[in-house]
A and B are shown apart, each in its own frame.
Chain A
Amino acid sequence: MADAQTLKQLVLGRKDVQDLSDTEQEPPPDLMTVNMGPSHPAMHGTVRIVLTVDGEKIVKSDIHPGYLHRCFEKESEYATYTQVFPYTDRLNYVSPMINNCGWAMAVEKLMGLTGKLPKRVEYIRVIISEMSRMTDHLTCIGASAMELGAFTAFLYFLKSREWLYELLEKISGARLTHSYVRVGGVAKDLPADWDADLTHCLDKIVGVIDEVEVMLNNNKIFRDRMAGIGAMTRADAIASGCVGPIARACGVDYDVRRDHPYSVYPELEFDVPLGTTGDCYDRYLVRVEELKQCIRILRQCQKQIPDGPIMVDDPRCSLPPKTDTYNTIESMIRHFKHIMDGVRVPAGEGYAFVEGGNGELGFFVVADGTGRPYKAYCRSPSFVHLSTAGQLIHDHFIADVVPIFGMINMIGGECDK
């Protein structure tokens, strides 16, 4: 006690020590309300959390999403089925091709085209989906590592992401929001040298992943901040609707690509990594392992992809070839109707889902026979995961909100639609 007094005197100066009495050293007994966000470096995208804290421990939290609600559903009702593709790009904007593929699958399901697409289209869709999944995991792990202080990991992963962006730009024309997929196929074929480019890119990325694993996996600071934080039981994960890497880290063995296979995933070999405890460290490990599995899938696709058309041979959704469009009136009118009225989808409702970067990403479409959807609902995994974040951060410190949020990978566009 005496030592503390002399220390305080030395630090604060004699005059100030007399001002501060010892009873003022106790923290105030009331709970404090702290606001995180909506503009906050750790809130990827924009989310506001109102925390009620007891010292540093979180007692209650109230999460307010919706700061990026861009009305995907309302806009889709006024756009044709093909015009919805750019809106879907901006849902999960770190893995945009997967959203495109999901929307295309939903519309094709209602048209009865599932399983009838040319093999090359299916392979192209799988290739670009897996590349997008890689960009998603690279961004998620990189940004989370940066927020915990591991800036180098972020820069290494950003460098790898740039290589993938260059390749995606060669394929689709845009680095980030591609709108490459169309109903019944894809917009244009892969460029001539994509195979060599992809091999080169993947070889480099494998090296980068190894480097970052060496940096982070057994790093004491990283493990202390991630292990044991934000754990979720398997039953909770299922009842809360968690899917994707978060659920797999809790031990829920569910991967849409394997359990409800679509496209050419039945012909590809890949493993689904499972975690045990469901804490942030497990989620990180699951994501790194999924990166490696993506690379494995991509290498198989490179070998197995056949030649062929890139659009299904169905006049209901394919545009006629340009020579016909410019020379025959029937093709020109067909082209006109496709662009102006949209692909006419028979009336009905259907739900199609794909394995997005965050889990089961689905589109529930109600069609009314015209070229515009009557209702287009996006089942976004980030929204569901954000709703579990409230219970995950309970009884943790404020500083633990950062790794928990990072590993949930809440993408604002997908969460708020």
Chain B
Amino acid sequence: MSKKVLDALTAKFPSAIVRTATANGDEIAWIKRDDLLAVAKWLRDDPAMAFDAPVFCTCIDWLDWKPQHNNRPPPEWGSAWNETKPRFTVCYQLRSVAHKHRLRLEIELPENDPRCASLAELWPAFNWQERETFDMYGIKFENHPDLRRIYLYEEFVGYPLRKDYPKEKRQPLVRRDDLPINPIKAEHK
């Protein structure tokens, strides 16, 4: 895959880019949180870039990150490999219909302030996907038209895809009247 996109992006917004990488066939650019909206707008409107098709929006929670070094550490991550990572990284993947190139924007967010600008006005597909990221990880998207839970019900407490939410912790809405809450285990005879 060509690096044209990354070069043009670095040339246009030198201060907004934290680093870029080409890894496993993808182009990735880490953007500072405050410059995200400007960068995204330029990526959509500039004719040479023309990223008009949104692909996905998700988040990575780095809380349990302990990479094994039995293989080599990925060279494209550079010095970032050994740094302590911020808690969350929001990823936006974009695609261009005309030029057929792809780009992933990654924004690092700290644990105590997981806010990010919403790209829902630029690409309508991100409306629901940002709601999903909010539902699962608790990332608050600023200026999102309708930020509420999408997969889970409103009574659900917590953000389940965070690494500190136990997988099997259920929060049931209804239960049968005759089912005991804590069934007594039968003793082995």
Direct contact of A and B (CB under 8 A): yes
Given known A66-B150, A241-B53, contact A348–B93 (CB-CB < 8 A): no
Number of inter-chain CB pairs below 8 Å:
120
Could you tell me if A350 and B151 are in contact, using CB atoms closer than 8 angstroms?
A: no
Q: How large is the interface on A (under 10, 10 to 19, 20 to 34, 35 or more residues)?
A: 35 or more
Given known A240-B125, A384-B125, A384-B128, contact A109–B53 (CB-CB < 8 A): no
A416 interfacial contact with B, CB 8 Å? yes
Closest to A378 in B: B56
Binary A-proximity of B153-168 (CB < 8 A = 1, otherwise 0): 1000000110000010
Whole-angstrom distance between the Cβ of A156 and the nearest chain B Cβ: 35
Q: How large is the interface on B (under 10, 10 to 19, 20 to 34, 35 or more residues)?
A: 35 or more
Could you tell me if A109 and B25 are in contact, using CB atoms closer than 8 angstroms?
A: yes
Could you tell me if B60 and A366 are in contact, using CB atoms closer than 8 angstroms?
A: yes
B72 interfacial contact with A, CB 8 Å? yes
B176 interfacial contact with A, CB 8 Å? no
Binary B-proximity of A323-349 (CB < 8 A = 1, otherwise 0): 000000000000000000000101111
A165 interfacial contact with B, CB 8 Å? no
Q: What A residues does B118 contact at CB under 8 A?
A: none
A185 interfacial contact with B, CB 8 Å? no
Could you tell me if B54 and A241 are in contact, using CB atoms closer than 8 angstroms?
A: yes
Could you tell me if B93 and A364 are in contact, using CB atoms closer than 8 angstroms?
A: yes
Selected from A78, A346, A366, the residue in CB contact (under 8 A) with B72 is A346
A362 interfacial contact with B, CB 8 Å? yes
B112 interfacial contact with A, CB 8 Å? no
A75 interfacial contact with B, CB 8 Å? yes
Closest to B54 in A: A241
Closest to B69 in A: A369
Q: Give the residues from 351 to 396 in chain A that come closer than 8 angstroms, CB to CB, to chain B.
A: 351, 360, 362, 364, 366, 368-370, 374-375, 377, 379, 383-384, 386-388
Interface of A is mostly: mixed
Closest to A379 in B: B56
Selected from A71, A73, A348, A383, the residue in CB contact (under 8 A) with B74 is A348
Could you tell me if B161 and A73 are in contact, using CB atoms closer than 8 angstroms?
A: yes
A295 interfacial contact with B, CB 8 Å? no
Could you tell me if A369 and B167 are in contact, using CB atoms closer than 8 angstroms?
A: no
Given known A241-B125, A387-B125, contact A350–B24 (CB-CB < 8 A): yes
Could you tell me if B124 and A240 are in contact, using CB atoms closer than 8 angstroms?
A: yes
* A-B CB proximity, top 5 nearest: A241-B125, A369-B68, A350-B24, A66-B151, A346-B71
**Would you give 10 A-B contacts (Cβ < 8 Å), ordered by A?**
A236-B124, A240-B123, A346-B71, A349-B60, A362-B56, A369-B67, A369-B69, A370-B68, A374-B65, A383-B132
Chain B residues close to A by CB (< 8 Å): 23-26, 28, 52-56, 58, 60-61, 64-74, 76-77, 91, 93, 97, 100, 104, 123-125, 127-129, 132, 136, 149-153, 160-161, 167
